[in-house]
Amino acid sequence: MNGAAATTRARKPVVLYPSPGMGHLVSMIELGKVFASRGLEVTVVVVDPPYHTGATKPFLAGVSAANTAIAFHRLPKVEVPPVASPHHEVLTFEVARLSNANLRDFLVSASPAVLVVDFFCNAALDVAAELGVPVYFFFTSGAEILAFFLYLPVLHGQTTASFREMGEELVQVPGIPPFPATHSLLPLMDRYDPVYPEFLKAAADLCRSQGIIVNTFRSLEPRAVETIVAGRCTPPGLPTPAVYCIGPLIKSEEVAAARGEECLEWLDTQPNGSVVFLCFGSIGRFSGEQIREVAVGLEASGQRFLWVVRSPPSDDSAKKFDKPPEPDLDALLPVGFLERTKERGLVVKSWAPQRDVLAHEAVGGFVTHCGWNSVLESVMAGVPMLAWPLYAEQRMNRVFLEKEMELAVAVEGYDDAETAVKADEVAAKVRWLMDSDGGRLLLERTRAAMRQAKEALREGGESEATLARLVESVSF
């Protein structure tokens, strides 16, 4: 969004408080850029992650150098005690809670007009209430996931069973397609896991805020937005928060773009719309067996491909959150694979400039883990998706992308924890995406969504107008 309607510079800063996950950090910084473009003073509060989330420090250094209008303040590191949960999200909630004293000290000195917090930083609401600082949530997933979270306290009260015990029973939430209980967020599958009450409290805390800023645009998820606004997702006795759809916000630049030159130079040599891009988020990793099945499937598909390969997860639980080593492609891929496919495929290690790759005219399809940032980047580039969800809310996103938005088709077998997705399925779905009437129809729908997204962001468009109303209506 441009700053043509920039307001008078605020006397007090807007403080943004993202959780340390890379996807959350990227989105919050893009929100900061939008606020700064409208003349607001922006400070981003950064906490050290309790686990590996991607290269956050180099990323932040690059962002800071490129965006001098945004200030960064790093809170002192806190020590997180051991937790009895396999889910890293419990560490994120705990870091925010333990950081409250440091956050309070900073807010007292900064005297902000507004505090904008991530979902996982809901503990900050208590500090803000004590200091009389208005709080908004910035929700980095889509409106359909927001509808689910708002309704979670209601779902919790409807049964004593955990989602895992419900199996394939459909979860019914107003405004979104029913989805199997097996597709709920992994940390929510067991209501007796220590992380479950953290999510439940954060869901209720959404209604304690002045409003929820959502990284989506209304015309992408109209039914969910309308249902939320009508109060049908809000638990009885809680106020319905105002909702501001101001997206899609995606990376405005790739900070480590120099590392991606090989990808882009290779794409320059490929025909338009001919390459399928496979990339699975900042922490998405496959087993060695699954990597080999993907390789065999890509070779059998006969399609051109650009594939980001990461090292498999470690079997050592003590290394669960360590930065993974660079992958040994010779050990992971079938013998001779790289040589046999070198004329039509490129395998890169660990990272690619995803936004720039998707925007390249040679890319015609995207095999994605369905992280929301990746979904929005794909929509903004007009690239159709094969859905292969891995973690977090991605299995729910897959249902919504396929059943509600009709912008993706799923890879069969992704939800079987015992076996890998087979090479035959990879080959068949990649061929379908790149060379079938169904794939071409999916491309047309994605291109239509791209046009809607760009229309939403133009001056006077639905998201731009919502942002202008947000800036004008609160005491920034």
Q: Which residue has the tokens 């003349």?
A: 39
Q: How confident is the model at residue 317 (pLDDT cuts 50, 70, 90)?
A: low
Percent of all residues in the chain with a pLDDT value above 90, rounded to a whole number: 82
Whether the link from the prior residue into 248 is cis, omega within 30° of 0, is: yes
What number is the average pLDDT over the span 181-210?
97
pLDDT confidence of residue 8: 45
- Give CA separation, 340 vs 293, 299, 344, in Å: 16, 8, 9
* C-alpha span between 353 and 363 (Å, rounded): 13
Domains present along the chain, CATH in parentheses: 14-252+457-473 (3.40.50.2000), 257-453 (3.40.50.2000)
- Give CA separation, 70 vs 21, 63, 66, 161, in Å: 19, 9, 9, 46
The stretches of 111-268 forming alpha helices (DSSP H) are 124-131, 143-158, 163-166, 195-205, 222-229, 261-268
At 103, is the secondary structure helix, strand, or coil?
helix
Q: Within the chain, how many helices (H) and strands (E) appear?
A: 19, 15
DSSP E strands in 313-373: the ranges are 345-349, 363-368
Q: How confident is the model at residue 66 (pLDDT cuts 50, 70, 90)?
A: confident
Q: How confident is the model at residue 50 (pLDDT cuts 50, 70, 90)?
A: confident
Percent of all residues in the chain with a pLDDT value above 70, rounded to a whole number: 94
* C-alpha span between 341 and 297 (Å, rounded): 12
Q: Write out pLDDT tens, residues 382-414.
A: 999 999 999 999 999 999 999 999 999 999 999
Q: Is the pTM of this model over 0.85?
A: yes
Residue 4 pLDDT exceeds 70? no
Phi, psi dihedral angles at 85 (to 5 degrees):
-150, 140
Q: For residue 411, how many other CB atoms are within 10 A of its CB?
A: 23
* C-alpha span between 312 and 319 (Å, rounded): 12
**CA dihedral angle for residue 414, residue 418, residue 423, residue 424, rounded to 10 degrees:** -80
Residue 12 pLDDT exceeds 90? no
Q: Residue 281 in contact with residue 254, Cβ under 8 Å?
A: no
Residue 186 pLDDT exceeds 70? yes
Of the listed ranges 82-96, 347-361, 447-461, the one predicted with least confidence = 82-96
pLDDT confidence of residue 22: 82
Take residue 179 and report the two structure tokens written for it: 């989805």
The upper half-sphere exposure of residue 105, i.e. CA atoms within 13 Å in the direction of its Cβ, equals 7
How many residues comprise the chain?
476
Whether the link from the prior residue into 58 is cis, omega within 30° of 0, is: no
pLDDT confidence of residue 283: 83
Q: Write out pLDDT tens, residues 439-469.
A: 999 999 999 999 999 999 999 999 999 999 9
* C-alpha span between 78 and 135 (Å, rounded): 23
